Structure 1
Amino acid sequence: MYSYNKLFTLLSLFAILYLSGQRGFQVEGGKSKHAPKKLFVFGDSYCDTGNIKKAIANSWKDPYGVTFPGKPVGRFSDGRVFTDYLDLKNSVALVSVAGNDYSYYLTTNGSLAGIPSFIASLVNQTTIDLIRLKKLGVKKVVVDGLQPLGCLPFATALSSFKQCNSTANALTNLHNSLLIQSVAKLNQENKDHPSFIILDFYDAFLSVLQNPSKHNIENPLKPCCTGAIGGYKCGSVDNNNVKKYTVCDNPKKAFFWDDVHPTQAGWNAVFHELKSTKALHQILHN
């Protein structure tokens, strides 16, 4: 069991999640014969294709974008992110939430004892927002479940990137369980036209992390781009423009790019794990 101090340290690390904040933006679909097609995204750095302001994010600095398109364009990865992999048949609203909300809670004196009730209130607010989107006329609303937060490098660093943290994953499971119940209730109330879909990021991430060789990934819990000196992050430089980070030799074999975000290879692997799910089929084809 984790001691109170260790648990507090772990949970406090949530504050580094999703530094890009909540934003809404539009991604054009591909040029296949099935296109219009537009994806309206309300989310964060896991799905941002470059909407964040340059002045406030390392994602506009080297080495972000080194794999695609070869330079920083605002994506929080070495290349493509999850939303780049969707080629849609109809317009969809994708809601990606929670990371920034939890970091805000923990950095504004939120208590450990209050976390369960905060999770419940966050899922409740998310549900309200899903209903609002539906009332605006959006026929299909997708919300992603939380990825296993205990497997992100900021948490696995405590074990030298050897194992996921069960305490953080337990909190993640609570969030996802409440979200599943809430979305199921919404669809039950609209049996004839169920409109709400959950993408199971948790299982998709774990499937890749537990069987990385299937996707040609090595050292799955270790980030590719890391601060060379404690406290520095990927993309950081000193006053003389000297890099304060190191980059692995081959990002294509890494699942995580930095302390929080997957590489292009990581997102590609997650997408392929989701391709066989009913949820992604509903998004892409119905």
Structure 2
Amino acid sequence: MKVSAFFSAFCGVGLLLALNGTAAGSILAASVECARHTSYTPQTLFVFGDSFADTGNLPPTKGNFEMSRQWKAPYGMSNRVDGSGRRQQHATGRFSNFMVQSDFIAKMLGLPQSPPTYLSTPDLHCDPSGMNFAFYGAGMFRFPGEMMMMSVSEQVDVFESMIKAGTISHNHVTHSVALLAVSGTDYNRFNVSGFSSATDCVEKETTEIVAITQRLQNLGVKKILVNNLQPLGCTPFWCRPTLYHECDEFGNVIALVHNKKLKHKLSRNKGIFIVDMYTAFNNIIADHGSKSYKQFEAGRKPCCEGYGPRVYCGEQHPHTDYLFYLCKDPSKRFFWDDTHPTHAGWEAVMKQLEPSKSS
């Protein structure tokens, strides 16, 4: 498919893509203005993946638990604007102080935000904007003890069952875009994953991603966006031992090998486009000379951080004492917590994934 034709179909999506079939390492940016298409209506979006895209599928639990932190302050602290133009705190199940990747992709498609979550959707109804199946902690595989998690494969199982039941119509699927937002959850728990080696993990991980895209295509989805991995070793989760001064080399090597294998395995699959998260993140958190890096203070240090290595953002003592540090201005930090960008961080990433107006 020609790039111009692809983006005409998206209308308004200008993503920096490591496109299949291009030379190794080449990146292409393209944009189409919706104003040129007077009959344009927003696309339907179906979202799969983990907490980079989850907008509330992991339900809240009673008590103060890490699994429910996204439903409580300080999560969502920049979320709502009242009548006076002031922001009010309102957690919505997103792992950020406001929006996440799926919201920004939805906006590029002409939607106000990510489509409704699967768990918040009434039976026998699919919103015209689509549905979000992404689930916090989701990997390509389910490991022992993950009772509340839903793997990406299981998300597609639900999607398929809703198509067969008629909840999601053929028209919904035919005119849809799918986002597969996987951010390396399985690699973060590599030591307990049961894989024999990092190489084994990468091979199985990328093979499963390809299998998921093939399933989605067999179900009728024509356009699929697939994240490659951001520099894992530069996330707070990996580089906290160095007080965020140095990236973890092993984590970054895993990401690079994963991305190379993924690109190779998807190279002949039409309609599948790799969103180059590695380049977008790397320009911000690793390239000290870049304008994007200088936009944020404190480098890779997150805005919200537990006081100890096993303390999470938002953790609270039973007697109401806060056990975390919160920066004064999330808009000046790239990372929100140990893994996820702030709203401003996502904004900076997605801005790089859009071409300039002059392109």
- Output aligned runs, 1:93-104, within 5 Å: 93-97=178-182, 99-103=184-188
Equivalent residue number for residue 59 of structure 2: 53
Q: Distance in 1 between matches of 2:59 and 2:49?
A: 15
Matches within 5 A, 1:230-269: 230-269=309-348
Say what the alpha-carbon RMSD is for the aligned residues. Answer: 2.2
**1:206 aligned onto 2:282:** yes
Judging changes above 3 Å, is the alpha-carbon distance between structure 1 residues 104 and 158 closer, same or farther for their aligned structure 2 residues?
closer
Work out the CA distance in 1 between the residues paired with 2:92 and 2:238.
Answer: 27
State the aligned residue count: 238
Q: Using a 3 Å threshold, how does the CA distance of structure 1 residues 215 and 81 change in structure 2: closer, same or farther?
A: farther
Amino acid at match of 1:58: R
Partner-residue secondary structure (3-state), 2:254? helix
1:105-160 deviations in whole A, cap 9, x for unaligned? 4324444xx11022111111110110110111101011100110000011221221
Pick which of 49-58 and 125-134 moved more: 49-58
CA distance in 2, matches of 1:230, 1:125: 32
| In 2, Cα distance between equivalents of 1:76 and 1:203 | 22
The Cα of 1:167 is off from its aligned counterpart by 1.8
Instruction: Map 1:156-235 onto structure 2 (within 5 A).
Output: 156-186=239-269, 194-209=270-285, 210=287, 211=290, 216-235=295-314
Q: CA deviation at 1:212?
A: 5.2
| Equivalent position SS for 1:184 | coil
| CA 213–173 in structure 1, closer or farther in 2 if over 3 Å, else same | closer
Q: Which residue in the other structure is 1:272 paired with?
A: 351
* TM-score between the two structures when normalised by the length of structure 2: 0.62
Task: Please report the TM-score for the alignment, with normalisation by the length of structure 1.
Answer: 0.77
Contact 2:316 2:323 in 1 (8 A): yes
CA–CA distance in 2 between the matches of 1:251 and 1:264?
8
Give distance in 1, aligned partners of 2:219 and 2:272: 14
Question: What SS is found at the alignment partner of 1:205?
Answer: helix
User: 1:157-183 CA distances to partner (integer Å, 9 max, x unpaired)?
Assistant: 122111222221011100000000111
The answer (yes or no) to whether the contact 1:163–1:221 under 8 Å persists in 2 is: no
1:199 Cα shift? Answer: 0.2
Match of 1:81 in 2: 100
Relative distance call for 1:195 and 1:220 in structure 2 (3 A) is same
Q: Which has the higher helix share?
A: 1
Cα deviation, residue 60, structure 1: 0.8
Q: Which residue identity does 1:88 align to in structure 2? A: L
Per-residue deviation at 1:38?
A: 2.0
Change (3 A) 1:251 1:33: farther
Which residue identity lines up with residue 93 of structure 2 in the other structure? Answer: G
**Gaps in structure 2 of 5+ consecutive residues:** 1-37, 62-66, 81-88, 111-174
> 1:239–1:97: structure 2 CA closer, same or farther, 3 Å change rule?
same
> d(CA) in 1 for partners of 2:193 and 2:273?
32
Give the Cα separation in 1 of the matches to 2:176 and 2:267. Answer: 22
- Which residue matches 1:14? none
